[in-house]
Structure 1
């Protein structure tokens, strides 16, 4: 039996802000862009991993959800409490410099962790934490 990761979902409050960050800054390719009932899902992924995708979705992808629930999810997203993605890179320092130069919000500068990896962390335009390790 084999199990592989296919997709993960990240809530974003504004696709027009998130898309340039994931596409232009991180270098992910856009694979799909779907709208339904005033909502939007954009699928992006690394060019060298065609079977792995990140879906940028609305904070609460339920058109029938009460307004209070949508507001609560948006507030949690803005505080960075919802999701995180860990990326692997062959040069964490160069990755850090590129993302910082593009205006990425730094959470942690490159650091040698006691468990053997060098990593750094940023927030995306919606507040999600993204870690990059080498």
Structure 2
């Protein structure tokens, strides 16, 4: 089994696609007005409008219950440099760059739909080795 993509369902697809294009520095490939993908090298970020959920049975399975229980994580070369870019992209910075006990320097912020995003750079010898 191979994890190939992460799909984000949104009410405002244009806003979400533009956000991710700027955040990760990749251009989206649009397949329809309701579906686009951004390749990252290791996984594809797929973004679909809420209209695409009708293809899965007509019910909106994505309606938020008021909690976020997952974080989308990106390994980046320099989390502090990325912070300089991200702080101009969103007002929803949850945690400015900080070194975590497990050896990653992390930046936590939210996308326009409230999804948590973590940009991190391994900084301890153990973390660097893990992500070689």
TM-score under structure 1 length normalisation? 0.74
Give distance in 2, aligned partners of 1:42 and 1:82: 24
Match of 2:47 in 1: 56
Gaps of 5+ in 1: none
Match of 2:130 in 1: none
For each residue in 1:4-47, what CA deviation from the matched residue of structure 2 results, as whole angstroms up to 9, or x when unmatched?
43212122221111111111232122134324xxxx1211123x
Give distance in 1, aligned partners of 2:69 and 2:46: 14
Deviation larger for 7-16 or 86-95 = 7-16
Alignment RMSD (CA, Å):
2.4
Q: Secondary structure at the match of 2:62?
A: helix
Give distance in 1, aligned partners of 2:81 and 2:97: 10
**Which one scores higher on RCO, CA 8 angstroms, separation ≥ 6?**
1
Gaps of 5+ in 2: 122-132
Match of 2:127 in 1: none
Match of 2:58 in 1: 65
Q: Secondary structure at the match of 1:73?
A: coil
Structure 1 runs of 4+ aligned residues shifted over 6 Å read: none
